[in-house]
Structure 1
Amino acid sequence: MYMYKLKTTKSVAKRFKISSTGKVLKHYSCKSHLLQKKNSKRKRKMRRTTLVQYCDQYNLNYNLPYI
């Protein structure tokens, strides 16, 4: 008897990356519009990636089974 394969949710795979140590990385939001009222320091910090919180990693691991 064969086990069925789990499908990767492609919308999630495009938004998140897995680091070499297994942590989930994401980009900051709110970077695409209404930038004139955000100061330079705030926009500069939004260039970076950040870690996904631990409580959200279970849902991401379900949507990214093989990554």
Structure 2
Amino acid sequence: MPKMKSHTGMGKRVRVTGRGKLVKQQANRVHKLEVKSSRRKRRLAGTDPVSRADAKRVKKLLGR
């Protein structure tokens, strides 16, 4: 049986915390920042948990 390979693209987008939760960067923080207000940019600065609906699929892609 061949080894299970994790999805490298998903590995770059999602991180697993010490307790096993999945965390991702928030969207809309990459370009066109001049248009967005400072308040909006600050709000988007942190990480965001992966939704429960997607968590099962993401874990499978990560090989967990």
TM above 0.5, yes or no, is yes
Deviation of the 1:4 alpha carbon: 3.2
Aligned partner of residue 24 in structure 2, secondary structure: strand
Structure 1 unmatched runs, 5+: none
* Identical pairs, percent: 30
Q: Which residue of 2 aligns with 1:33?
A: 31
Count residues in correspondence.
Answer: 64
Structure 2 unmatched runs, 5+: none
1:52 aligned residue (34, 50, 53): 50
Deviation of the 1:6 alpha carbon: 1.2
Aligned partner of residue 43 in structure 1, secondary structure: helix
1:4 aligned residue (2, 26, 47): 2
CA RMSD of aligned residues (A): 1.1
Higher CA-based Rg: 1
User: Matches of 2:52 and 2:2 in 1, distance apart?
Assistant: 28
Superimposed CA distance per residue, residues 7-62 of structure 1 (whole angstroms, 9 cap, x where no aligned partner): 10000001100011100000011111111111111101111001000010011011
